[in-house]
Amino acid sequence: LFKATQNGETVYQLWIASADRQEGAMHVFKDVKIEVKYGDHAPFMCELANSIEKAIKYVPRENKDRMVMLREYIKAFKSGSIDCHKNSQRNWVYDKGPPVETNIGFIESYRDPFGVRGEFEGFVAVVNRAQSEKFQSLVDNATKFISMLPWNSDFEKDEFLRPDFTSLDVLCFASSGIPAGINIPNYDDIRQEEGFKNVSLGNVLSAQPPAKPITFLAEEDQALFKEWQGRSFEVQVAIHELLGHGSGKLLKEGNDGALNFDKDKVKHPFTGKSIETFYKSGETWDGKFGAESSSYEECRAESVGIFLSCVPEILALFGHTASTEEVSDVTYVNWLIMVRAGLLSLEYFTPENSKWRQAHMQARYAILRVLLEAGEGLVSISRKEEEVVISLDRSKILSVGRKAMAAFLEKLNVYKATADVEEGIRMYKHYTSVPEDMLELRNIVLAKKEPRKIFVQGVTCLTSDGQVDFKEFEATPYGMINSFKERYSADGPLGSLVQHLQHCGQFPPVNN
């Protein structure tokens, strides 16, 4: 979105990424002129559509869903049509259990201050069959585990739409950051009515930088944290993606005016009265909750993760033994990861405008505040000059901790389900506000800030005999530079686009 001047008038130009430079249109909204233009990043979108066209011949004829998905991708990237991209995502959901998984488009809105515009990403990954069996067992028992969440069935989907849940080893992930897990598509109407897919990125989860002391943890927690960090996070990601993002119902009105709940029978759990707020026809979750929607939903999913990580039956699916009376190492470290992450999240808060710059980090900070508020010594932060240690009382997780998370989770889910923007945002802003004592801790967090983890990715290219060659690079800054040099060299796989890179991000984008 760009601001321009035409004939002395201010015009906002909304550029659509598309291969075709088709004629746009002028709209007027509240006396503001908005011009929709096509052809942003045209050379890249054209190459993307052409490459997908070449891939179609390798799709088995009997796999109609994958074939339709690729054809809808081509139409979407040529025309810039969101409807075509939505069709591609529908068929991606229908395509169950492919050996090679891929998804492409403007997907995540975390980096947009308004939480609306999607950042482009694309990945190709190979399914890890053995690891995927664990996740499939979680899917098989999902209805039972979702019933353990702290809200009644009126606020849960009428039917759990069984997703594909696989563990993938990433071959290439093109975006500004690589997640540990994914739950997409993000089109909420598709998620609610047709389903979604869960993906755990195994070789991202297991990638660890060289060993060194873990900041802000007590000495007695260091060894246990390092031993269980990877396995605890695996459980958290699985629950977060499947049972977190996959749970919860939106109470809404259909296009025909009918409600998807019985207004005479369903009562609000906090007031005991009838439901007064719900999604009107055409309204969406992110449209109602705006810029806070991404972080709010991540907080809900993260909360589900630590809440259900105490359930022995779930831990058993991942090969861990636990009981209902005591906290296992895998659960303790999972909660410890969360409270430490909440402290580290302060790095992503900007005091000058009281804004958070990262949705997941804002969500983890909120959880830390909830657990601190629970009191009874569950979580404590001790400070001695410039040294800070965060501690978690293992003996109080099942009592104090779970009780606090249950109350918080129910509010998160009910406010979302009932489109109660006023109460939902009020509560979320309370837990994500940063008081003076936390601002002081932020200064220490920044002083001890560690370099961001960098993933070095390989490059694929076709050999002279038509075979695919995969070139790897060492996990060093030198390897990172060489991987980009290889990818964007004149004779590399993206050589034809090198000349266009200089125009990226420039306005007006007529040459990119």
Q: What is the pLDDT of residues 115-154, one digit of tens each?
A: 788 899 999 999 988 888 888 899 999 999 999 999 999 9
Please give the Cα distance from 278 to 151 (Å, whole number): 17
Identity at 434, one-letter amino acid code: V
* Residue 321: both structure tokens together: 């033994």
241 is catalytic: yes
Phi, psi of 279 (to 5 degrees): -80, 120
Is 269 a residue whose pLDDT tops 80? Answer: yes
For 275: left if phi > 0, alpha if psi spans -120 to 50, otherwise beta; the answer is: beta
pLDDT band for 508, please (50, 70, 90 cuts). Answer: low
- CA nearest neighbour of 504 among 15, 3, 4: 15
- Residues 145/148/150/151 CA torsion (nearest 10 deg): 80
Give the pLDDT mean for 469-485.
90
Identity at 420, one-letter amino acid code: D
Q: In the prediction, which pLDDT does 142 show?
A: 94
Give the pLDDT mean for 333-361.
95
Query: Buried b / exposed e across 172-196, counting CB within 10 Å, b at 16+?
Result: ebeeeebbbbbbbbbbbebbbeebb
Please give the Cα distance from 81 to 71 (Å, whole number): 13
Which among 156, 241, 297, 298 is annotated as catalytic? Answer: 241
Helices 359-374 and 402-417, packing angle to 10 deg: 130
pLDDT band for 296, please (50, 70, 90 cuts). Answer: very high
Please give the Cα distance from 414 to 273 (Å, whole number): 14
Please give the Cα distance from 512 to 508 (Å, whole number): 9
Identity at 355, one-letter amino acid code: K
